């Protein structure tokens, strides 16, 4: 466990870390995983030394981005699972959260790195449990809606419209003629395991 996880960060160090993760998420989405570390530091308005104090390697930075992303998704999934309202309303809230926070999500289904360490696998398992039996279908839909099409204007509106169509299709009596079985968490994990390691 890193020193960062063992003791709380000072407020300025925590602010630096948050800026680094936000800048890194934007840079990775724009330039890919190989974006220069100096670019991330510059866009976060911190020195390169500060970046390396928090994340000594590119892999550590990418892993932190992935962990933060899974934690955001898990928080939304748990909120949806604990919602007292109708299931479709809770699912709509989950998809809305995914669309709203899309710029922060650096995940394998969005083209991000694949990590198989126990903590990351446990986060994926917790998300799947919170989303219940159809988690594979919901995860895929959330990933699709959080990844804007390059030439589609007003993605928030477009994605929310697609989410609504999806939810209408899940209404009672509407899902009886779906083609094939939905993906399971095991299917997704098998795909992650087959991906080249970084």
The string of pLDDT tens digits covering residues 149-170 is: 877 778 888 889 889 888 888 7
How do residues 18-41 score in pLDDT, each as one tens digit?
999 999 999 999 998 899 999 999
CATH architecture of 58-194: Orthogonal Bundle (1.10)
pLDDT of residue 2: 46
Whole-number Å distance between alpha carbons of 33 and 46: 20
Whole-number Å distance between alpha carbons of 60 and 187: 26
- 31 CA to centre of own chain: 18
pTM of the model: 0.78
| 145 pLDDT higher than 80 | yes
Whole-number Å distance between alpha carbons of 70 and 109: 12
CATH number of this structure's domain 1-56, picked from the four choices 1.20.1280, 3.40.190, 1.10.3470, 1.10.10:
1.10.10
Q: For the chain, what are the domain ranges?
A: 1-56, 58-194
DSSP letter for 175, please: S
Q: Which of 1, 96, 18 is nearest to 9 (CA)?
A: 18
Percent of the chain with pLDDT over 70: 87
| 57 pLDDT higher than 60 | yes
In this prediction, residue 45 has a pLDDT band, given cuts at 50, 70 and 90, of very high
In this prediction, residue 1 has a pLDDT band, given cuts at 50, 70 and 90, of very low
Segment holding 144, helix H or strand E: helix 135-145
């Amino acid at each position: 466990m890193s020193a960062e996880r063992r003791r709380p960060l000072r407020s300025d160090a925590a602010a630096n870390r948050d800026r680094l993760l936000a800048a890194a998420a934007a840079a990775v989405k724009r330039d890919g995983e190989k974006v220069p570390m100096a670019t991330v530091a510059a866009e976060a308005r911190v020195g390169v030394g500060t970046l390396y104090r928090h994340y000594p390697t590119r892999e550590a930075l990418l892993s932190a981005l992935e962990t933060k992303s899974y934690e955001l998704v898990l928080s939304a999934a748990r909120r949806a699972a604990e919602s007292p309202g109708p299931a479709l309303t809770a699912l709509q809230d989950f998809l809305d959260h995914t669309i709203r926070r899309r710029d922060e999500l650096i995940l394998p289904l969005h083209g991000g790195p694949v990590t198989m360490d126990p903590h990351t696998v446990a986060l994926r398992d917790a998300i799947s449990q919170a989303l219940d039996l159809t988690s594979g279908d919901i995860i895929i839909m959330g990933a699709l809606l959080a990844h804007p099409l390059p030439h589609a204007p007003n993605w928030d509106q477009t994605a929310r419209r697609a989410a609504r169509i999806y939810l209408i299709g899940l209404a009672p009596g509407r899902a009886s003629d779906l083609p094939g079985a939905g993906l399971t968490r095991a299917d997704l994990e098998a795909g992650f395991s087959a991906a080249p390691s970084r």
